[in-house]
């Protein structure tokens, strides 16, 4: 069985971020939004096109998204879809999905990259930078504060009880995500076969996620040429408007800044190189190449570039380096950091801020009396080096993506990748169930409470349509009560 290499009985990643996925998560409603009148799926034919959006208006929305973006990428992308596609109509669903499919292919958090992409499409480079940065900064500040409370005040029995209740909920949430995605993405037997093959490949043969992505893309490319009707992206057909005309509509030509320009690409590449090299040069000069801050910058750059498939793909690499190689934190602290990430908005990969804070705090470069300053600086540095590639991928690759949103030879591989992701998510559901229900291994006794709580969470999600955050809160409180009564 494929498993994340975190050798601890407490191993269970939170549901803050699912692997890369597409349109199926989009119809989820987030309870964190201010309640708006329901959007009609059959708007009047004479519904006017939205007025142009100013950078100030966009700035306010991106800041709100950064503060309310709970529920992992499923919740974050759902918020963006509801607000930007359905209610505000800044972008059409077809263009929204095309951008999301591109973000799925990249290493890094797809929800943050999608926000960066839409911000860039609306307001050029600065719009993308503002959108992506505001998506991350609230989570960074919250995690610095929570990490300090965690490391300064030590273990609290109540925290262990909360984590005990969250883990079964995570299992149900991942299974629910697989169902949601599969029900909308798997439109025919070909796509079902791709999903099944991906599940077998990763479950039985431990095939790396990037190879699954490449294999699905190849199948989609060939299938798009030989059986194009089987690999047409799901959803609304071209020309069909479910929410009314959008500011960036299906047939809206790419703006001038979104057209490919070799000179612009070269300037962007040089700027990105400078933004990486200058901080690394300063860290090397101040602390040496083997200093904690310098090694964090180098390590998290590699993590950002070499891992695909979202937070679940990068976490094993972070664990091996931060715990096994560098010793910045213990295995128990790593697991606690993953659960802590569930309590904050933003992408789960922001757990790197927790890793950086703990590593900087326990190995204070400024002396014991300034441990907090060292931890906060380390958290900010690892966030910078982790997310810098995401901005560059979007700003550099966006013009190419905008030139392909109506070409089947580009969209068919993405449709096949979406199908493969369903199988990968199902594998994760099996992995979580294995480790949560049998914490001592299959040879040990099952945890009956965890099984029952996971079933209750699944019923709440599947049959009563409760929100992810609501389910997590109830399960956390239930786990806390059971843990304290033992």
Cα of 126 vs its chain's centroid, Å: 22
Question: Taking CA 383 as the corner, what is the angle to CA 121 and CA 361, rounded to the nearest 5 degrees?
Answer: 165
pLDDT reading at 236 higher than 60: no
Q: Do the Cβ atoms of 475 and 481 come closer than 8 Å? A: no
How do residues 29-82 score in pLDDT, each as one tens digit?
333 333 333 444 455 556 788 888 899 999 999 998 888 776 567 668 877 887
**What pLDDT does residue 15 have?**
36
Residues 238 and 232: their CA atoms lie apart, in Å, by: 11
The angle at the Cα of 157, spanning 154 to 160, to the nearest 5 degrees, equals: 95
Which H helix or E strand runs over 385?
Answer: helix 371-402
Lowest-confidence region among 90-94, 97-101, 309-313, 446-450: 309-313
Residue 335 is predicted with a pLDDT of 67
What is the tens place of the pLDDT at every residue in 185-222?
788 999 999 999 999 998 888 787 768 878 988 999 89
With tokens 């951008």, the residue in question is: 99
The more confident residue out of 177 and 259 is: 259
**Gap between the terminal Cα atoms of the chain:** 32
Residue scoring higher pLDDT (16 or 450): 450
Q: Is residue 334's pLDDT more than 70?
A: yes
pLDDT at residue number 38: 42
Of 203, 202, 194, the residue nearest 221 (C-alpha)? 194
Give, for 390, the enclosing helix (H) or strand (E).
helix 371-402
Higher-scoring residue by pLDDT: 120, 319? 120
Return the exposure string of 442-452: e unless at least 16 CB atoms fall within 10 Å of the residue's CB, then b: eeeeebebbbe
Q: Are 453 and 169 in contact (CB under 8 A)?
A: yes
Contact 97, 60 (CB under 8 A): no
273: Cβ–Cβ under 8 A, 6 or more apart, which residues?
none
pTM over 0.85: no
Decide if pLDDT at 235 tops 70. Answer: no
**Is the predicted pLDDT of residue 25 greater than 80, yes or no?**
no
**pLDDT top residue among 281 and 110:** 281
Q: Higher confidence at residue 235 or residue 188?
A: 188
Residue 10 pLDDT exceeds 50: no
């Amino acid at each position: 069985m494929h498993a994340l290499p975190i050798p601890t009985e407490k191993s269970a990643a939170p549901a803050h971020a699912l692997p890369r996925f597409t349109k199926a998560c989009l119809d989820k409603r987030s309870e964190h939004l201010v309640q708006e009148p329901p959007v009609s799926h059959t708007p009047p034919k004479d519904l006017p096109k939205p007025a142009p959006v100013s950078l100030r208006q966009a700035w306010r929305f991106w800041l709100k998204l950064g503060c309310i973006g709970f529920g992992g990428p499923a919740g974050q992308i759902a918020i963006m879809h509801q607000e930007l596609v359905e209610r505000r109509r800044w972008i059409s669903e077809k263009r929204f999905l095309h951008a999301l499919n591109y973000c799925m292919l990249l290493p890094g958090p797809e929800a943050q990259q999608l926000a960066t992409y839409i911000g860039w499409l609306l307001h050029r480079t600065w719009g993308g930078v503002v959108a992506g940065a505001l998506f991350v900064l609230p989570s960074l500040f919250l995690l610095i504060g929570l990490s300090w409370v965690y490391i300064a005040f030590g273990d609290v029995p109540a925290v262990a009880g909360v984590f005990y209740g969250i883990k079964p909920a995570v299992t149900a949430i991942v299974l629910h995500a697989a169902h949601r995605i599969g029900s909308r993405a798997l439109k025919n037997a070909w796509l079902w076969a791709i999903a099944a093959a991906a599940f077998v490949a990763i479950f039985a043969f431990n095939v790396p996620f990037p190879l699954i992505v490449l294999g699905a893309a190849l199948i989609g490319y060939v299938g798009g040429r030989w059986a194009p009707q089987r690999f047409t992206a799901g959803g609304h057909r071209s020309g069909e408007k479910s929410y009314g005309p959008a500011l960036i509509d299906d047939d809206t030509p790419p703006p001038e800044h979104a057209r490919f320009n070799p000179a612009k690409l070269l300037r962007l590449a040089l700027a990105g190189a400078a933004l990486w090299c200058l901080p690394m040069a300063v860290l090397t000069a101040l602390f040496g190449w083997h200093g904690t801050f310098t090694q964090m910058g180098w390590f998290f750059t590699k993590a950002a570039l070499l891992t695909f498939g979202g937070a679940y793909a990068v976490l094993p690499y972070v664990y091996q380096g931060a715990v096994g190689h560098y010793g910045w934190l213990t295995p128990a602290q790593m697991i606690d950091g993953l659960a802590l990430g569930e309590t904050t908005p933003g992408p789960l990969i922001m757990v790197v801020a927790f890793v950086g804070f703990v590593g900087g705090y326990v190995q204070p470069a400024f002396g014991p009396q300034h441990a907090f300053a060292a931890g906060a600086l380390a958290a900010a540095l690892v966030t910078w080096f982790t997310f810098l590639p995401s901005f560059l991928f979007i700003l550099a690759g966006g013009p190419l993506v905008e030139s392909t949103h109506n070409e089947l030879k580009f969209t068919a591989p993405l449709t096949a990748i979406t199908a493969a992701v369903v199988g990968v998510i199902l594998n994760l559901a099996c992995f979580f169930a294995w480790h949560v229900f049998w914490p001592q291994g299959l040879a040990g006794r099952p945890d009956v409470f965890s099984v029952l709580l996971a079933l209750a969470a699944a019923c709440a999600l599947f049959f009563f349509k409760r929100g992810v955050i609501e389910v997590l809160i109830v399960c956390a409180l239930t786990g806390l009560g059971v843990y304290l009564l033992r």
